[in-house]
Amino acid sequence: MTKLTVAALQLAFTEDTQRNIANVSDLVREAAGKGARVVLPPELFQGPYFCRTQNENNFATARVMAEHPSVIAMQKLADELNLWIPTSYFELDGHHHYNSLAMIGPDGKIAGNYRKSHIPDGPGYQEKFYFRPGNTGFKVWPVAGDFGATTLGVGICWDQWYPEVARSMMLMGAQILFYPTAIGTEPHDPDLDTSRLWRRAMIGHAVSNVVPIVAANRIGTEGGQRFYGHSFICDERGDLLAEFGADETGVLVAELDLDLARKHRAAFGFFRDRRPELYGRLVEDV
């Protein structure tokens, strides 16, 4: 029987990188103490969400994966606590910059690197100024332990709005989907609250792929932009197992019954009844 306990972290961040990483580390320890074996921090937790504006000074905070302070700190924790930690970071690769994720395993080693595929560009989310579109393709990672064996899929923030991303990872064998996030108010429209849409989009992926989902967002106000939290864990039916509101700091933990999810997935027949020969339009330009 494969039952895996997972966790999502929710917290605010400041300009103090060391303090941010220490705060994340404290919550990782708390999650491990509650039995979590995979712990998901929010997107780009090294500091404030710098992509709100275009400022060339921010490029100085990028590092190669092996030298990034967020990655190094999570490697030590993963090794010490026997965890998988999908770790978001600002990656430097030669002259290029990526919004990336290092999948860190229980031995502290990096199982692989994923570069965010979909890069947003709009008021408050000007990521195209900083990041090249990812060139890794979507990634999944087989994991095993005393909980059994399963496969984790991870998308980063804007990726989470695309049903193609979730379905692609499922076709690659994913049995849980994780989404580290930095999202909040929309500066161009103060009356637009996307927190409900944000959740619904991912819960839709859960239902249409019959897969549990873990989403971790930041909170707090940065430069007048408020990040709205609402991190959650849902099961393969889209039912919420654990959730935060807009202001809580802490750890969400839930046990996922992956054998039950697999049985439900087979019974729904969504993958049995696929018609790939009809989907060519999906890979054509608009």
Active site residues: 43, 116, 157
The token pair at 67 is: 């030298």
Neighbours of 63 (CB within 10 A): 17
Query: Please, how many CA atoms are within 13 Å of residue 179, restricted to the half-sphere of its CB?
Result: 34
Using CA atoms, how far residue 10 sits from 20, 54, 86, 137, 162, in Å, is 12, 26, 14, 27, 23
Reading the block at residue 180, the tokens are: 């580290």
Q: Which helix (H) or strand (E) holds 243?
A: strand 240-243
Q: Are 165 and 201 in contact (CB under 8 A)?
A: no
Cα separations in angstroms, 239 against 93, 230, 262: 40, 15, 16
Q: Measuring CA to CA, how many Å separate 55 from each of 60, 107, 126? A: 10, 37, 10
10 with 182: CB under 8 angstroms? no
Residue pair 171/137 in contact by the 8 Å Cβ criterion: no
Q: Residue 158 in contact with residue 119, Cβ under 8 Å?
A: yes
Contact 213, 179 (CB under 8 A): yes
Gap between the Cα atoms of 43 and 172, Å rounded:
23
CA–CA separation, 278 vs 286, rounded Å?
17
Distance CA 90, CA 236 (A): 31
